Structure 1
Amino acid sequence: MTRTWESLYSKNGLAAKYIAREILKIENQERIPRVTDFCDRLSLGRGTVQGALKLLEGLDAIELASRGHLGTFLLNKDVSVLSDIADIGPLIGAMPLPYSKKYEGLATGIVDAFGSTNKRVSLAYMRGASTRLEALKTRRYDFAIVSRMAAEDGIKNHKGLEIIKSFGLGTYVSGHKVFFADPSNTQIKSGMRIGIDRSSPDQSMCTLYECEGIDVALVDLNYMQLFQMLKEKQIDAAVWNKDEVQSVEMLSSADFQSGKARELTKLTSEATIVIDSTRSEVIEQMALLDAGIVRGVQRKVENGERFPQY
């Protein structure tokens, strides 16, 4: 087997890299291009293409069947092996810090869904949707997980970004509420100090809508500081998501008074995957991701039916 892998450095092996990329786009039981098609498309000789296909079969990357005048069909493919041959490494994505069961379930679901296609994925954890989208645009990551609201906001500000997968309402957060340092408060009032994280479009826009027309002092913090600052009464109120168990149990909270904030929280509840639309290799691999598997695993983690693993 080692000798077979070494043959990837031969002329046939270099051709196999290109052909592996083409076959990754083909589903099992579909006909593959004719040898002459590969020759024309890749400017290769007939013998080189035939040798490359035999090499891919020898590496157990593909299983082919000739059906006479109907052509040659792809019976089976190993996506992981094909990706290695094609020099397509594991996808790397950025998502929020997994501090809630919902985020742990989302991370576990994405890893499981890619695993079911024999595709590897690595996840990095970054605070702030704006930060994740900036990192995506500079190609530090292949994809970013953000809410639909943050995705739509980011697409306006970054040319070439697009939503490639959506997971439905309640998959990013269950919703947001206003949390208070003083349990006697039930709504934001003039004179209050309000925590805001401007790197989070979700938190900052909900905060601004809820404070609209009220004379408050906005205190710039990062999202993970809000809870501690409320506990220490250094701020009076802050918008926070309902899935963070510690804040829900220790602090009093209330629903939004602002109709605009209530409407916005629907968009903030849906998880999406954003990619750079110029990266065709990422689009091809993302097409393999089954959103149904992700949602199913996420529910099991949230319900305690399985341990998170990401």
Structure 2
Amino acid sequence: MWEKFYSKNGLAAKKIAKLFLQLDEKEKIPRVSDYCEILSIGRGTVQNALRLLEEMKAIKLEARGHLGTFLVWKDKGMLLEISGFAPLIGSLPLPYSRKYEGLATGMVDAFETSGSRVNLIYMRGGVNRIEALRTKRCDYAVVSKMTADAMLDKYSNLIIMERLGSKSYVSAHKIFLADEEKTQVIDGMRVGVDRESLDQMHLTSLEFATKNVTYIDVNYMQLFEKLQANEIDATIWNVDEKKISQTFKSISFESEEALRVSKDTSEAVIVIDSEREEEIKDKWASVTKEQILIVQKSVENGEIIPHY
């Protein structure tokens, strides 16, 4: 069926699909002669194009005699796809916690509710997600506000399209200790740091700036195993990852600067390329952050099974 869109009738259907996106359900559609004039095509081509859109179940029309033809319903997602408006691609953190699963589920649900779709990819490290945005492998990237601010200083074409509010990215960061008898990080300890996680690396450098510790490079997905094997003595990570928070003792930051910065690491923001601002915002027009956050909270509370 999709091969038909490469025909003369199919190309006309693509153009008419764009026009249907501007019509509301139950609304009277233009006459065939109107489409002929607008698109400079023949009556037969218009009629075949409308028939093709109905066969694809992108629209359902109802002829009402002298009253004209009305749009009974439309599949906005299908019309967007036929028109050549591909779904947005968003880059999100790896969904290892209920909060991140909720964020992904919230985005999927919000777009589906609006009648459109979004495709999500998952990448470790906010810097990597920003790089995916810069190299056009995605249309938007979800990172912490702290990472966004750092990247916006470096790349002037990037902007924050939406802020999702405090604790939308992580609930909090804490220091986790391998030895439960310890009450603080002391000189000589080995501290795990993931240099691809700008948040974790920055918080680590601030918190232990006055300590004589050894930094051990660790992929954050291995922090639990490294603590358990006593290959590191301490690390900073978020409390949303239940395995690490339920197994190891955690303590709060001592550094006032680390505490201040941690507020920006708790908020999720959506970063886009400013050159595509109008296009991206148009596709987000019927999606609100409130929809996303409600679903995120429901997933965190176990009220909704995550699906993304």
CA distance in 2, matches of 1:211, 1:79: 52
CA shift digits 1:232-278 (9 cap, x unpaired): 11111110001111111111111100111111111111112222232
**SS across alignment from 1:227:** helix
Change in Cα spacing, 1:213 to 1:56, as seen in structure 2 (3 Å) is farther
Distance 1:222 1:284, change over 3 A: same
> Structure 1 residue 204 and structure 2 residue 213: aligned?
no
Q: Which moved more, 1:154-163 or 1:238-247?
A: 154-163
Of residues 149, 154, 157 in structure 1, which corresponds to 2:151? 154
- Give the match for residue 291 of structure 2: 293
Find 1:236's aligned residue among 233, 237, 247: 233
1:75, distance to aligned residue in structure 2 (A): 8.8
Q: CA RMSD in A?
A: 3.5
What residue ranges of structure 1 are gaps of 5+ in the alignment? Answer: 66-72
Verify the 8 A CA contact 2:89 2:119 in the aligned structure 1: yes
| Alpha carbons of structure 1 residues 54 and 151: separation in structure 2 relative to 1, 3 Å | same
Deviation at 1:287, TM superposition (A): 2.4
- What does residue 45 of structure 1 align with? 40
* TM-fit CA distance, 1:225: 1.6
Unaligned stretches of 5+ in structure 2? 63-69
Instruction: Give TM-score, length-normalised by structure 1.
Output: 0.81
Q: Distance in 1 between matches of 2:28 and 2:275?
A: 27
- Is 1:264 the counterpart of 2:261? The answer is yes
In structure 2, the residue matched to 1:55 is: 50
Out of 216, 219, 234, the residue aligned to residue 219 of structure 1 is 216
SS of aligned partner of 2:260: helix
1:85 maps to amino acid: I
Distance 1:161 1:12, change over 3 A: farther
Is the Cα–Cα contact under 8 Å of residues 137 and 158 in structure 1 kept in the other structure? no
2:65 corresponding residue in structure 1 = none
Q: Is 1:107 aligned with 2:104? A: yes
Distance 1:155 1:165 in 2: 14
Deviation at 1:80, TM superposition (A): 0.7
Question: What does residue 78 of structure 1 align with?
Answer: 75
Q: How many residues align?
A: 299
Alignment of 1:86-97 (within 5 A): 86-97=83-94
Letter in 1 for 2:280: V
Deviation at 1:21, TM superposition (A): 4.5
The residue type paired with residue 185 of structure 2 is I
Name the CA shift for 1:190/1:6 in 2 (closer, same or farther; >3 Å): closer
- Aligned runs of 1:185-204 on 2, under 5 Å? 185-204=182-201
> Cα distance 1:152–1:27, how it changes in 2: closer, same or farther (>3 A)?
farther
Q: CA deviation at 1:305?
A: 1.1
* Change in CA separation of 1:215 and 1:137 when aligned onto 2, cut-off 3 Å: same
Kindly state the Cα deviation for residue 15 of structure 1 after the two structures are TM-superposed: 5.0
CA 1:185–1:84 in 2, change beyond 3 Å: closer, same or farther?
same
Partner of 1:142: 139
- Give, in whole Å, the separation in 1 of the partners of 2:126 and 2:287: 21
User: 1:223 deviation in Å?
Assistant: 0.9
Q: Greater shift after overlay, 289-298 or 56-65?
A: 56-65
Q: Tell me whether 168-177 or 186-195 shows the greater mean CA deviation.
A: 186-195
Whichever residue aligns with residue 308 of structure 1, its letter is P
| Contact 1:195 1:237 (C-alpha < 8 Å) held by counterparts | yes
Percent same amino acid among aligned pairs? 47
SS in structure 2 at match of 1:278: helix
Letter in 2 for 1:208: S
- Read off the aligned partner of 1:283 and give its amino acid letter: K
TM-score calculated relative to the size of structure 2 = 0.82
